[in-house]
Each structure stands twice: as C-alpha cells, then as structure tokens.
Amino acid sequence: MTDITYSIVIPAYNEGERLGATLEKVLAYVRLQGWNAEVIVVNDGSRDNTVDLVRAFAAKDPVLRLVENPGNRGKGYAVRNGILNSRGEIVVFSDADLSSPIEEMPKLLSALAAGADIAIGSRWLQADLQTQRQSLHRQLFGRIFNGLNRMILGLKYKDTQCGFKAFTRRAAQKILPLQRIERWGFDPEILFLARKFGFRVAEIPVRWGHVGGTRINPVIDGARMFQEMVRIRCYDLGGKYDGGDVVAVPAVKTLPGNPAPRV
C-alpha cells in the first residue's frame, strides 16, 4: 500500500447544503497540487443527505473516504475519530464551511516543515486577513473565551478555536487518544495536551471569513465550554492525561471498496 503524505479531515453534521461545494474545492485543490493525499469526511450522525452526498463524490474520486461516528457525538469526537483513522504523515482538519480556504493549507505545512509539531490557523494574529468578520457579540464571546483559556489553562494563543489545524503523525498519535472533550471545547484540550507533552505549536495567521449557519449558542455553549475548561484541569490533576488511561479508538465504517484505515 502506498504511503499517504497528507490526510484532510472534515467533520460534518447536517452539512448537505454546503458540503458539495466544499468537496469540489478540496478535491480539485488536492489534484492541482499533485499530492498523495486522502480526504476524510466524518459523518457525525447527520439526518440530512450528507452521507449520500459523500458517497456520490467518493464513487467518482477514490481520494475521498467516509467515516461514520456512532451517532451524533460532537465536533471534537468527529475530529478525533477522523484523525485517528487517517493514514497521512501530516493530518489537517478543516471545518466543512471552509471558513479558512483550503488554499491556506500550505501555510500550515510550511510551519510543520520548519519544525513545528502542530500548526494552528489564527483569525486574530493578523486580523486584516479576515474577509468577513463575525458579529460584535460573537467577537466579544470569543474574547471572553480566549481570556478564560489563558487564566484556566495557561494557553497564550490569540485564537484557539479556528477550525483549521495541522498535526504531524507523531503529535496526533500521542495527543488524540488522550482527548476526552467531545464537543466544542476540544480545541483547548488538544493545545493543553500539546503543551503538557512538549510539542511545539505554531500559530499561523490565515485568511478567514465568517460563514453563516453556525450552530454555536454563545450562552448555552459558552457555559458548556467553561465547564469543559474546568474538566480539562480536573482530568490533568487526576492523572487522566498521563498516558495510562487512554480513550479507545472508535470503530469505524468506511465506504465499500476503500482501503481499511490503518491506525
């Protein structure tokens, strides 16, 4: 089996309306670059036509593979499931709306080539790269969340929540099996674990534009994210991240005819 250089993981929950355009762009870009790559869509229990759409694309392009979660588990679970069932030496995850265009991916790859173990896209490191900003209340929510990350978890990044991150295989295989947060607060957990285990994280300014249709409720999900930050601290103090209490890799379903994932 030919080794794969790049894996691009896209978590998807009821993304039937916009996933088609996303897959067209991502698959075309992979072909244009001539990469030895795979594109993995992780279905997080969608109730719309997401699965049928991915199957239709995969029937025409063997680069694409579908991974199914056991029901709706959350974005953090979907990202983890996709990454741990990927085969690339470098793994990138991108939001399904491509709020950061796939053309920004070489910036993350360059950071890894320069010695970083993880490269995270940032909306606020160079704010003039934003093509469409969020509403003021969402920007305020982000600022508060970032401040809490700094106070509770000691994370000094400008932006932990941008859905555009890249990992070396070594870093992914060390960190992701220990990840426990399954929903929106998984990004700080990943970065907390990266710091705990001494991985080098590079924060990279990327083009980014707000896309409507987000499912985050600033009040409800904000309270949940705060609770998850506290849980991360408690997990660490309780030794859950010391390597002995590893979360099992989920069983997956893949499209018939695609190679089985190598973990």
Per-residue pLDDT band at 56 (split at 50, 70, 90)? very high
30-44 pLDDT, tens digit each: 999 999 999 999 999
Per-residue pLDDT band at 224 (split at 50, 70, 90)? confident
For 25, 125, 133, 216, 224, the CA distances from 219, given in Å and listed in that order, are 33, 25, 20, 9, 9
By CB neighbour count within 10 A (0-12 exposed, 13-18 middle, 19+ buried), where does 249 fall? middle
Per-residue pLDDT band at 67 (split at 50, 70, 90)? very high
Residue 20 lies in a domain: yes
Per-residue pLDDT band at 148 (split at 50, 70, 90)? confident
Residue 248 lies in a domain: no
Q: How far apart are CA 131 and CA 133, in angstroms?
A: 7
Count CB atoms within 10 A of the CB of residue 44: 27
Q: How far apart are CA 29 and CA 43, in angstroms?
A: 22
For 17, 39, 55, 68, 249, the CA distances from 191, given in Å and listed in that order, are 31, 23, 33, 25, 20
Residue 243 lies in a domain: no
Residue 71 lies in a domain: yes
20-33 pLDDT, tens digit each: 999 999 999 999 99
Q: What is the pLDDT of residue 1?
A: 40
Instruction: Report residue 146 as tokens.
Output: 């970032």
Mean pLDDT for all residues in the chain: 87
- Write the CB contacts of 246 (distance below 8 Å, at least 6 apart in sequence): 177, 178
Residue 247 lies in a domain: no
The pTM score is 0.86
Q: How many domains does the chain have?
A: 1
On the question of pLDDT at 248 being above 60, the answer is no
Domain that holds residue 170: 4-237
Query: Which range among 71-80, 91-100, 127-136 shows the weakest confidence by mean pLDDT?
Result: 127-136
Residue 260 lies in a domain: no
Q: What is the CATH number of the domain that holds 67?
A: 3.90.550.10
Q: What is the pLDDT of residue 243?
A: 67
Residue 261 lies in a domain: no
199-219 pLDDT, tens digit each: 999 999 999 886 665 556 666
Residue 232 lies in a domain: yes
Per-residue pLDDT band at 225 (split at 50, 70, 90)? confident
